[in-house]
């Protein structure tokens, strides 16, 4: 009897405790990757850093599944993987890494968190109707962003600052298209294997760009700080956190696992202030809170619409 109780308790801990632990891991450590990226790009080209990170991350995934004799993708699956590799890694991750070279890591994380807004806007231009809650969320988020940038109005006169904002904004649009494409063309094989292949494809693109344009530096000239940043981004950002992310997506309901999108920017802003002395003003705190509230409303509206659509199909 006691053994049955212990087994039942153990199963409940594994079914609830481990997914929640994975969520907490994602919430915190994906926020820290912005700090590592900021440190890494201080001493080397951003696209080269992203390319090296994705190259080794992709090799780790692919080698693991080759050893396990996992079946390779076939036919049209390769098209999906290539497109996602370009959208989610070469463009989204590559451009956001490049962007934090010119703006604070906290600001980059806040901009990155607004990708659900682009999903709503993209679906609207595709002819889908917007729910009132989504429209209200858009308005509130936009208001929050205006508050955040109120103290940065003078910075927009600086070309590098404008360029950093542009890069991070494009990266969120790319991630939004990637998310929509994943939903439409979801691969039918191991998502971890697919992740590794996407990283390898994107690393080839990024390293080819830095090599072809002559903007890359020799490996021997990359300082220790950048190598440590790459190592952290590789092990924590590209491997451990992605594994935890996919695991929590499989085990937790959408309304819970989406929490990471609201906590990542908070972690990045706080750590940026502590480690790099980045400004943590009242405008950033209020504007960030308002923006995240608006994003929550948008995400809630998206999930509600998907639930209704699923019920209609059934």
d(CA 310, CA 193): 28
pLDDT at residue number 250: 79
**In the predicted structure, residue 13 carries a pLDDT above the cut 60:** no
**In the predicted structure, residue 225 carries a pLDDT above the cut 70:** yes
Pick the closest to residue 95 from 3, 190, 163, 193 (CA basis). 163
Instruction: Tell me the mean pLDDT in the region 68-93.
Output: 91
| Share above pLDDT 90 across residues of the chain, in percent, rounded to a whole number | 39
pLDDT, mean over the chain: 84
**In the predicted structure, residue 192 carries a pLDDT above the cut 60:** yes
pLDDT at residue number 116: 78
Instruction: Tell me the mean pLDDT in the region 29-51.
Output: 94
Of residues 34 and 6, the one with the higher pLDDT is 34
**In the predicted structure, residue 3 carries a pLDDT above the cut 70:** no
Q: In what helix (H) or strand (E) does residue 49 lie, and over which residues does it extend?
A: helix 46-67
Pick the closest to residue 84 from 249, 209, 200 (CA basis). 200
**In the predicted structure, residue 5 carries a pLDDT above the cut 50:** no
Q: Where are the domains of the chain?
A: 26-313
**In the predicted structure, residue 7 carries a pLDDT above the cut 60:** no
Q: In what helix (H) or strand (E) does residue 33 lie, and over which residues does it extend?
A: helix 18-40
pTM exceeding 0.85: no
Confidence band for 311, pLDDT divided at 50, 70 and 90: low
Which of 76-80, 147-151, 181-185, 237-241 has the least mean pLDDT? 181-185
pLDDT at residue number 147: 83
**In the predicted structure, residue 165 carries a pLDDT above the cut 90:** yes
Confidence band for 186, pLDDT divided at 50, 70 and 90: low
d(CA 50, CA 263): 23
Per-residue pLDDT tens over the stretch 252-284 = 776 676 677 778 888 888 898 888 888 778 888
Of residues 74 and 204, the one with the higher pLDDT is 204
End-to-end CA distance of the chain: 41
Instruction: Tell me the mean pLDDT in the region 89-95.
Output: 95
């Amino acid at each position: 009897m006691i053994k049955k109780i212990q087994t039942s308790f153990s199963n409940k801990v594994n079914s609830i405790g481990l997914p929640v632990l994975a969520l907490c891991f994602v919430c915190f450590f994906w926020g820290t990757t912005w700090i590592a990226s900021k440190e890494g790009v201080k001493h080397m080209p951003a696209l080269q850093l992203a390319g090296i990170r994705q190259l080794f991350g992709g090799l780790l995934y692919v080698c693991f599944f080759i050893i396990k004799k996992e079946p390779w993708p076939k036919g049209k699956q390769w098209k999906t993987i290539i497109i996602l590799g370009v959208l989610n890694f070469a463009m989204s991750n590559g451009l956001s890494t490049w962007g934090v070279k010119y703006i604070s890591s906290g600001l980059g994380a806040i901009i990155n968190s607004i990708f659900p807004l682009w999903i709503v806007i993209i679906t609207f231009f595709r002819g889908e109707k917007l729910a009132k809650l989504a429209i209200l969320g858009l308005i509130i988020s936009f208001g929050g962003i205006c508050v955040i940038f109120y103290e940065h109005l003078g910075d927009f006169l600086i070309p590098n600052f404008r360029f950093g904002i542009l890069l991070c904004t494009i990266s969120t649009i790319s991630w939004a298209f990637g998310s929509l494409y994943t939903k439409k063309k979801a691969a039918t094989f191991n998502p971890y294997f697919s992740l590794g292949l996407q990283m390898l494809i994107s690393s080839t693109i990024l390293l080819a760009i830095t090599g072809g344009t002559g903007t890359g530096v020799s490996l021997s000239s990359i300082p220790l700080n950048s190598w440590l940043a790459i190592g952290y981004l590789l092990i924590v950002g590209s491997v451990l956190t992605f594994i935890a992310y996919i695991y929590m997506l499989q085990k937790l309901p959408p309304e819970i696992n989406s929490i990471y999108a609201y906590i990542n920017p908070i972690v990045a802003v706080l750590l940026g202030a502590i480690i790099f002395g980045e400004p943590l003003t009242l405008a950033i705190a209020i504007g960030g809170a308002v923006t995240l509230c608006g994003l929550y409303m948008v995400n809630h509206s998206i999930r509600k619409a998907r639930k209704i659509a699923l019920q209609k199909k059934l």
